[in-house]
Chain A
Amino acid sequence: MCTGTMENNDDYVLNVSNLSVKLQNQTILDNVSFKLKRGTALAVLGPNGAGKTILFRALLNLVPYTGKIEWAEKVKIGYVPQNIAVDDIPISVKEFLSYKNRVNVESSLSPVRLSNKNVADKTLGILSGGQLRRVLIAWALTDNPNVLLFDEPTTGVDHDTEEPIFATLSELKEKNKITILLITHDVHIVREYSDYLLALDGGVKFFGESKEIMNPSIQRIIYGETVCAGAPDENR
């Protein structure tokens, strides 16, 4: 396992080479390599069990791995997990965001387009799916991270709420020059809100620019079939 910092390469924030993760004698990730430019958004795509969440856990140093993960110097990571258990815990949004005692709740909520008046005193467990995801983004941003890892941003969120959440992420990326890594299943999200795509299925199936997802030949590599109409198939 080797976590390090990259030297003299201002353009890139993350360099992963030959990353493999084995859990309970099963290979979850095999020889994954990719590089990510600063201030860009990477969508991580793949079927269930493809190793997407494990990739994030490895990037956060939460699971043992072999290979190399190099973050740029002075990188600060904010993490938004897919599942959190809040239903039975009487914790208000204000308390959750003030975890480190030095957070202005109002200014934490405004970047994620939530009003202090409406949600600050509410218990986390009674928030809608969309509100909860936004509060989680706000929480991840409290440390002023320059990298945001976002595991399935639309879990528990209705379709109408998905777009504003991604618009918020996109805005954060532009305004604060945050690098975003997000796990998603949605081709539309990949195309609209990410710059690069990493398709996983244990190993890397595809890594390249996100707009390539509309290319039928790339879709066949990722999904084994064409899943939606898009750009003409240049390889045909």
Chain B
Amino acid sequence: MNPTRLTRSVGWAVICFLVLPITIVFPVSLTDKRYLSLPEEGISFKHYVNLFGSAEWLGSIGQSLYIGVVATAISVTAGTLCAIGCWRLSSRAGEAVRAMMLVPIVVPTIVYALGIYRFWVDLRLLDTYTGVILVHAVTGIPYVVVTVSTALAGFDARLEQAARNLGASAFQTLRRVVLPGILPGVVSGAIFAFIHSWDELVIVLFIASRAVFTLPRRIWDGINEHLDPTMAAVATIMIALTAVLLVLDLRMRRRKEG
């Protein structure tokens, strides 16, 4: 049942369609022109100089990092505990909680953005770090619950019982036995939650305006208003960051399997 040469070629062509268009931003970021184009007379790093000399871009990158890190910490803590709780219940109730956690993944973000905007108006949290961090943390929880649940499915429950029988307290068992066993899943969840916050635009468009101006928000404005090669430099850096996180995640997974 090996695929024919034609099938294989189509398969790889689709992979090229997935990857190659993204790589176009590398040469464009090195253009010597002031508009989006391929380098003509030579390569130039001036757009990177622009980027790293721009207080606006650096400010947005800093904000996104800060929001992402704090939100991820909350998502990972709440999500991991929740997944462990569901796993211990191992009943219909646990299943129901896990199913409920999938809702934020399938409901279009724009729908939620409408609701949270009105909610934050009432609570005076519009355009604040607290407001954005809370929202990113909560919408990141489902990703952590999914990855940690997957890790728990492969974790031997008898190890936990053994620890308890040998006299470890519930907290000790959690810290010394369960958590180390599912660590790759937790790290995976953390990476997912961070990328979720780092890349989130739709909600930020509604609940932040001036004080909080994250990186996706600045890219969005850039695409809609002035398309200049600095954007390509930003895109290049973001691609590099994603690639690093992906390799990190694949490493974790392989260690878990091996």
A interacts with B? no
Q: Which residues of B contact A (CB under 8 A)?
A: none
Q: Which residues of A contact B (CB under 8 A)?
A: none
